[in-house]
Structure 1
Amino acid sequence: MNAKPEPGSDAPDFDAAVVGGEYAEGERLRLADLRGQTVVLYFYPKDDTPGCTKQACALRDGWEEIREKAKVFGVSTDGVKSHEKFIQKHALPFPILSDEDQQVVTAYGVWVEKNMYGKKYMGTERTTFVIGPDGKIRAVFPKVKPEEHLAQVLAVI
């Protein structure tokens, strides 16, 4: 398990399938492609679950405030088809990365052991990274509460 990158450190590059926003089905995205822009990577456990939906819809509702200041990407281990349904169902204006092989969640240290009802399993910790135009981590919000997420992001972008 990798440690979470800290503010001031280089953001781990990645190469992942992306869907939604300005991206067509089948496209791939590398963090290096976004150099020169502020990037918000928000990691969440699962499409269309209550907390994840609340978090995504808050970003959608605050989109006018965000869109000129940063590129926003959701990241989860769900597949592209699941992401497409999630984006359409909730009219999400930003793209989502599909990380089915857990490469991105592992690189960012958010693929962690979880415990629910006494059962342990591996899953994505709800964490957001704000990456500056220079490719350095500007801020990390671990274990984000969906209802506080938008305000946290707006405060640093």
Structure 2
Amino acid sequence: MAKDKLRKVGEIAPEFHLYEADGKKISLSDLLGENKYILLYFTSTEEKSRCDRSECPLKENLEKLIDYGVIPVLIDADPVEEHKKFKHEHNIKFLMLSDPAMETIKGYGVYEKVNVHGLEKEKVVSTAFLINPDGKIVHVWEPKKIEDSIDDIINAIKKLKGI
């Protein structure tokens, strides 16, 4: 991972302007305007495809996250059209933002360079950030897959909220 560029606890989360599956442009500042915590989850296409097998921890814990005042947001490099199809096929209710140019992904430092058949490519590294209502990063998780951290994420949220 681009460890030297990975955003850290205490930093202000970088702003973004990305498109959701319905074509609406979403920015971090729009979400923060709702005075809630934001769970930004960056993922690769390979990990997201596990929802095909009903292993979608954000989906399974959506109500709990919302009840705790958290807006879950998935960001990956897939185009908007793929997100629209995916959300429809899997009944996904959380925001899925498209970053095909990987500008936000790189801005948060959640990528690595890999060699694929002799070609160097950039790949998203699964990482979750919890951002407080003031736009500050309060937790960072670097799981190989979200289910490795979903319990830690929920416990951290409960602790921050005094629940």
With normalisation by structure 2, the TM-score equals: 0.82
Residues matched between the structures, number: 151
Q: Give the 3 Å change call, closer, same or farther, for CA 81–60 of structure 1 in structure 2.
A: same
| Cα distance between partner residues in 2 of 1:54 and 1:71 | 24
Distance 2:20 2:147 in 1: 25
Distance 2:110 2:54 in 1: 17
Give unpaired runs (5+ residues) of structure 1: 20-24
CA contact (8 A) 2:9 2:139 kept: yes
Per the alignment, residue 39 of structure 2 pairs with: 40
RMSD: 2.4
CA distance in 2, matches of 1:96, 1:145: 17
Report % sequence identity.
Answer: 28
Question: Which of the pair has more CA radius of gyration?
Answer: 2
Which residue, 11, 21, 29 being the options, matches 2:26?
29
2-side partners of 1:127 and 1:150: how far apart?
Answer: 12
Paired with 2:38 and 2:124, the residues of 1 have a C-alpha distance of: 19
Matched ranges for 1:1-157 at <5 A: 3-19=5-21, 25-35=22-32, 36-46=35-45, 48-50=48-50, 57-68=56-67, 69-114=69-114, 120-157=120-157
Classify 1:28/1:44 alpha carbon distance in 2 versus 1 (closer, same or farther; 3 Å). Answer: same
Q: Which moved more, 1:29-38 or 1:111-120?
A: 111-120
Q: Does the Cα contact within 8 Å between 1:54 and 1:146 map onto a contact in 2?
A: no
Counterpart code for 1:57: C
Segments of 4+ moved more than 6 angstroms: 116-119
